[in-house]
Structure 1
């Protein structure tokens, strides 16, 4: 699939402002009302996905605008605040946590009708358990932008690829509940928040039973990914490992797995 180069004359002389907020943001800049990011072999497939989502009525994602004259992908800019770091209080009200879960459900429902291009290439950084949809793979606070009440958007779709609904939900639950071993982030009401998240998404009983052991495995997959990429000397993963991110994912995995009975009770009976 070919993405034609589009010149955005209205932004041609606009100042480039580096954007940050996630763990991997090198080369990502804002130019006027657009975002420019390094493109890759996966970009045509990701743009086809984003085009499909908008055609299906899902508005909580940037729109692709092509490739600029420097070979960078061009996306619409999502106005607002990135929830991470330091702005987690934006999701403190239960209704906002529920809205995140519903937004993920809306995305999953919209993507079900997507047929990837025949020559689609995806990054597939971490092999998923199951592949019933094209998943986001990084639905986390650092990729959620909250603007006005009608301006919520998930960003950073470059890691999208084959996955499953529950694979995405398990990862999102870790970040948004959060399910964290860190005393500064650990929630005494984590089980209640997990149930509220599952309720808002609309998980049935079988999905809830499947989700509980998946929570730990999905979290562990992040630790293993960083470990393996660091052993190969790959950046920016080696830097993240050196900064202690591997330990964070390992401790969170232990925290989650030690409380599987608690999560299951909360999801099935409402008793945390």
Structure 2
């Protein structure tokens, strides 16, 4: 491996199977051009790719097993990461069991502990589309079922292009909305009492202390509204892919869920802090 011009420190991957077939990988709402080549995944690179490579390298160095390894850039300038066999947690194939919310909490805690105290390279350029509630250390920013691989022996968090500085609570609030999930029962939610139990399970798996539970309860609605704001701004400015997602109705989904969380804040807070 040698350095790549324009990407200091980022290695070049020499293909050992030139001409190997490329299998397009579906899923997600904002990534295009992602393919599988053998035991690797190739995705379009950007100014943020060296920072993502640094994050994944850090996680590998400390033995964090819930993220793919990053290898560098291929001959076409695409980011090359490890392909992890398994099924996506969303959409979940028939007969597959969803991940336990407690296990998602444990994964989030291990991830945050691995990155807390680590300093990114001074020239790191992260791609964050929503301002977080703080910048304590690097977090994933999209900890959700559509970015989680259920492998035989572990859960693996993929799609790191949006990682960047944030807080534990910011990641957890997003994960809570997606994995519990926090939505009305007629929109796929489990009902408010079951949602409270799911929130408590997430916090228990994370090992969240009392102060952290109170912060999480306060952050659930603002974090959900932040997605609506992103999509609404994209709609007004024509910024893609957010304008397209707004037109597909995603803005309405986030508004609906944010209002539902606000309507049931007392019950959800009690479940978290009891």
TM-score, L = length of structure 1? 0.93
Change in Cα spacing, 1:89 to 1:228, as seen in structure 2 (3 Å) is farther
Structure 2 CA distance for aligned equivalents of residues 89 and 143 of structure 1: 19
Structure 2 CA distance for aligned equivalents of residues 90 and 54 of structure 1: 28
- Give the structure 1 partner of residue 85 of structure 2: 79
**What is the RMSD computed on CA atoms of the aligned residues?**
1.5
**Which 4+ stretches in 1 moved above 6 angstroms?**
none
- Determine helix, strand or coil for the equivalent of 1:2: strand
Asked if 1:242 corresponds to 2:247, the answer is yes
The answer as to whether partners of 1:91 and 1:97 remain within 8 angstroms in 2 is no
Structure 2 CA distance for aligned equivalents of residues 118 and 138 of structure 1: 23
- Give the structure 1 partner of residue 73 of structure 2: 67
Deviations 1:44-71 (A, max 9, x none): 0110010000111101101111101111
Asked if 1:121 corresponds to 2:128, the answer is no
- Give the structure 1 partner of residue 210 of structure 2: 205
Structure 1 CA distance for aligned equivalents of residues 239 and 263 of structure 2: 31
Q: Which deviates more, 181-190 or 210-219?
A: 181-190
The answer as to whether partners of 1:88 and 1:141 remain within 8 angstroms in 2 is no
Query: Counterparts in 2 of 1:43-122, with a 5 A limit?
Result: 43-87=49-93, 90=96, 92=98, 96-122=100-126
Structure 1 CA distance for aligned equivalents of residues 185 and 195 of structure 2: 13
Deviations 1:212-231 (A, max 9, x none): 12000000000000111222
- Determine helix, strand or coil for the equivalent of 2:10: coil
- Flag structure 1 segments of 5+ consecutive residues without an equivalent: none
Structure 1 CA distance for aligned equivalents of residues 134 and 45 of structure 2: 27
The answer as to whether partners of 2:11 and 2:71 remain within 8 angstroms in 1 is no
The answer as to whether partners of 2:143 and 2:157 remain within 8 angstroms in 1 is yes
Structure 2 CA distance for aligned equivalents of residues 166 and 52 of structure 1: 21
Query: Counterparts in 2 of 1:6-45, with a 5 A limit?
Result: 6-10=13-17, 12-45=18-51
- Give the structure 1 partner of residue 257 of structure 2: 252
State the 1:113 CA deviation: 3.4
- Flag structure 2 segments of 5+ consecutive residues without an equivalent: 1-7
Deviations 1:5-64 (A, max 9, x none): 221213x22111111121123110001110000000010011001000011110110111
Structure 2 CA distance for aligned equivalents of residues 88 and 3 of structure 1: 40
